[in-house]
Amino acid sequence: MAESTTLSAKTLTRRNAKDKTVLAILPMGNGMAQAALSGIRAEAAVRRWHVMSAETERASDGSLRVERSSGSIASVGELAALMRPDGVIVWGYALSPDEVAANVGTVPSVFIDPPFDIRPSRRKFAVVRGDARAVASLAARELLFRDFADLAFVPSNEDESWNHERGEAFRDCARVAGARYHEFHARRGEALGCWLAALPKPCGLFAANDKAGDEVLGACAALGIAVPQDISVVGVDNMVYLCEGTAPTLSSIMMDHVGEGRAAAELLADWMDAPRRSPPEPRFVPPLRVVRRASSRAMPDRRVAKAIEFIRLGACEEGFSPRDVVANMGVSRSLAFDLFRRVAGHTILDEIQSVRLERAQELLRQGRRPDIVGADCGFSSHDDFRRVFRKRCGMSVKAWKAMVK
């Protein structure tokens, strides 16, 4: 459930006129929305805003349940009447534009990754989206690294604008690279398996999100299609519980949801200063990077490929060490170390530290305190975390956090 700052009606009436109150509406239990909220709060802290957050859940009859950490609220309208927000930020499908207008009125409103198209002539709200073209370009670069002559795209089941935008942008990337392009258009089920079986091999495949990537990997397993040898797969969203629960694990593009939250707050800040003007133009936030896992990582030695997979899944566990990796490889210590270095190009410990730092940086972006991040990522102590971070990143944790803001 989203955190909230509790303010009484008396406090609201006494607040400094220069301060603003912003209402953030999120879909219930959505981790990506929570990451965006941390970005909103970080920007709000600089601007001296009060951020009130609530979560919505839509019932099968279309009605909304609204909750804050203090308990249920009758409606969004009741919440808006209590908070009297100067601006509103909505994640995705938590509310529609009509519901915002009906419950909050004409205050400046920003949608993050909405499921609907942006029509400038009718738009009465601002929009922040993940950059579909940058996402497709990153996927293409990851797959073209292996010189595939064929690239393929599988959309998600959601009929949303980003779904089609990613496919169109990926098709353009394939055309520029001189690769043959294939796109899945039929319904799911047996049709997906038939389509995958008919694809030229080897092939690089971009799935519009991790759920679509999971479906592709399941169909490949059922058909005996080798991944990543025959089909290399990349998804989007880096939903860790899903990506690291597939077989093989799914490579995925990490979106900058914290950055989207910051961008939404920046748009809203400009608009609240002049609320009578037209909504700001849409802003597109590029993804962070590809989190490479087994579905797109081709290794000439299966023992090393297995070891890298083992490290990605276990590196952040307490006490995890190269000794565990050697035992998993099933060879002698000297052979394991030599084989890993020759095939991967670095040591087992380097790989462990890379996975730990990748996770640490993700948690730091989400606003987690540095003094607890190290322990959560498998480092033996906070001092060990700071030492490794400075050595491998070339700067302190504090300097890195300031740079990525």
Report all structural domains of the chain as residue ranges with CATH numbers, in order of start. 9-129+257-285 (3.40.50.2300), 132-254 (3.40.50.2300), 299-404 (1.10.10.60)
Question: Would the CA dihedral through 324, 328, 329, 330 be positive or negative?
Answer: positive
**277 vs 352, higher pLDDT:** 352
Main-chain phi, psi angles of 2, to 5 degrees:
-70, 145
- Residue 273 pLDDT grade (very low, low, confident, very high; cuts 50, 70, 90): confident
pLDDT of amino acid 18: 57
Query: What digits encode the pLDDT tens for the residues 3-40?
Result: 434 444 444 443 444 589 999 999 998 989 999 999 99
pLDDT(405) > 80: no
Q: Report the alpha-carbon distance of residue 257 to residue 262 in Å, rounded.
A: 9
Query: What digits encode the pLDDT tens for the residues 278-333?
Result: 888 899 999 999 998 999 987 778 888 889 889 988 999 999 999 999 999 999 99
What is the pLDDT averaged over residues 144-170? Answer: 89
pTM: 0.81
The overall average pLDDT reported for the chain is: 87
- Residue 55 pLDDT grade (very low, low, confident, very high; cuts 50, 70, 90): very high
pLDDT of amino acid 362: 85
**100 vs 118, higher pLDDT:** 100
Q: What is the spatial order of strands in the sheet that 64-68 belongs to?
A: 71-73, 64-68, 49-58, 20-27, 87-91, 109-112, 126-130, 283-285
